[in-house]
């Protein structure tokens, strides 16, 4: 088998005769130089790109050296609309709640103040208001007799009932133990309510487009049993227990029905 070599035209003192020859020369020269090692360990310069709901604005994460920041720009005129540094927290995701609010998910290996034990990675949520250029950590401490942690325990659900932006944020509240809770946060009215108090078995909730909690997922570890509660108008119920056939006739009837299905 013949070996193919890249033959360089003479470029020292003599111009390349054709554009094709010049292109070949440039390609061969580039392949002869290895990429610097620091390129392989460097963070990407651009990541986590997110478009606003109407496509007129863009948010992305930009890296310069070891610092990362979020940039928000208008796609109609290219103007800078806002931005902020991520600090020591790890930036996990960005998403738009509406045209004026950007959701920022971060995490940090820490231990909440007043707790003892091992440090663990905790997730948090921030909302950046583009008009006011301010950042708010959610959920906020409610002005009631309720302690809570500003941590995020699941996926944020975004709803727009009657044109308002309402977030449902899975978080944690504290009694004699830490328990999961679902917080309803209205970004326009700046209100926050605890709409669901979970138990040690609660794993999460589901909210529909109208802002109603329609399902809850529970897991009972000692029984290795999952339960899906469903309902309407804010009332959730577990499924009825399966009734075992009490007579031989019912056993035969249920068996024939199962075979037909």
Same domain for 233 and 169, yes or no, is yes
> Which residues lie across from 148 on neighbouring strands?
173
pTM here? Answer: 0.72
Q: What is the pLDDT along the chain (261 residues), one digit of tens a residue?
A: 444 444 444 444 444 455 555 445 545 555 555 667 665 666 667 788 999 999 999 999 988 777 788 999 999 999 999 988 877 778 899 999 999 999 999 988 877 776 767 787 889 999 999 999 999 999 877 655 567 778 898 999 999 998 899 999 999 888 778 899 999 999 998 889 999 999 999 999 999 988 999 999 999 999 999 999 998 777 888 888 766 555 555 544 544 544 444
Same domain for 94 and 72, yes or no, is yes
Same domain for 134 and 144, yes or no, is no
Same domain for 146 and 105, yes or no, is no
As separate numbers, helices (DSSP H) first and strands (DSSP E) second, the chain gives 3, 17
The strand pair at 101-110 and 120-129 is best described as antiparallel
- What is the domain range of residue 114? 38-138
Same domain for 148 and 117, yes or no, is no
The whole-angstrom separation of Cα 141 and Cα 119 is 22
The token duo for 180 is 């999961």
Residue 5 falls inside a structural domain: no
Residue 129 falls inside a structural domain: yes
Q: Is the peptide bond before 192 cis (omega within 30 degrees of 0)?
A: no
């Amino acid at each position: 088998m013949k070996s193919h070599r890249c033959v360089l035209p003479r470029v020292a003192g003599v111009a390349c005769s054709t554009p094709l020859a010049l292109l070949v020369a440039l390609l061969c020269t580039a392949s002869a130089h290895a990429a610097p090692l620091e390129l392989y360990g460097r963070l990407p310069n651009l990541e986590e790109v997110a478009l606003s709901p109407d496509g007129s604005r863009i948010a992305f994460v930009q890296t310069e050296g070891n610092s990362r920041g979020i940039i928000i720009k208008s796609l109609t005129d290219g103007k800078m609309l806002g931005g902020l540094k991520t600090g020591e927290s790890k930036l996990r995701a960005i998403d738009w709640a509406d045209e004026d609010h950007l959701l920022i998910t971060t995490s940090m290996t820490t231990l909440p103040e007043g707790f003892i034990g091992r440090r663990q990675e905790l997730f948090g949520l921030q909302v950046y208001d583009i008009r006011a250029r301010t950042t708010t950590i959610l959920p906020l401490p409610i002005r009631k007799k309720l302690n809570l942690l500003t941590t995020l325990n699941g996926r944020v659900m975004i709803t727009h009932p009657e044109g308002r932006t309402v977030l449902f944020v899975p978080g944690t509240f504290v009694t004699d133990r830490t328990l999961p809770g679902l917080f309803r946060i209205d970004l326009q009215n700046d209100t926050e309510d605890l709409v669901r108090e979970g138990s040690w078995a609660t794993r999460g909730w589901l909210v529909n487009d109208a802002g109603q909690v329609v399902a809850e997922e529970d897991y009972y570890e000692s029984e290795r049993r999952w339960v899906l509660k469903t309902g309407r108008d804010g009332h959730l119920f577990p499924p009825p227990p399966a009734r075992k056939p009490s007579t031989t006739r019912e056993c035969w009837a249920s068996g024939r029905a199962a075979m037909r299905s």
